[in-house]
Structure 1
Amino acid sequence: MLTNKTLAVALCVLISGCSMFDKSATSVPKVVAMPPPAVTQAWLDVYEPKVREAIKGTHFEFERRENLLVVTAPVQGSFNPDRPHMMLPSTLGPLSRMAKLLERDETIGVLILGHADSSGEANANRDLSQQRARAFTSIFRLSGLKQSRLMVKGLGSDMPRAANDSQQGRALNRRVEIMLTSKATLNALIAKYSQPLPATAVVATKSIKDKNAKVVAKADKPARSQ
Structure 2
Amino acid sequence: MELFADRADAGAQLAERLRDAHDPVILALPRGGVAVAVPIARNLGAVLDVLVTRKIGYPPTPELGVGAIAEGGEPVFDLPLLHRLGMTTEDVADVVAQERQELARRVRAYRGDHPLPPVEGREVIVVDDGLATGGTARAALRAVATLKPAKVTLAVPVGARDTVRSMHEEADEVVVLLTPLDFRAVGQWYERFDQLSDTDVLRLLGRQT
Q: Structure 1 length normalisation: TM-score?
A: 0.30
Q: Structure 2 length normalisation: TM-score?
A: 0.32
When you count strand as a share of all residues, which structure comes out higher?
A: 2
When you count helix as a share of all residues, which structure comes out higher?
A: 1
Structure (1 or 2) with the larger CA radius of gyration: 1
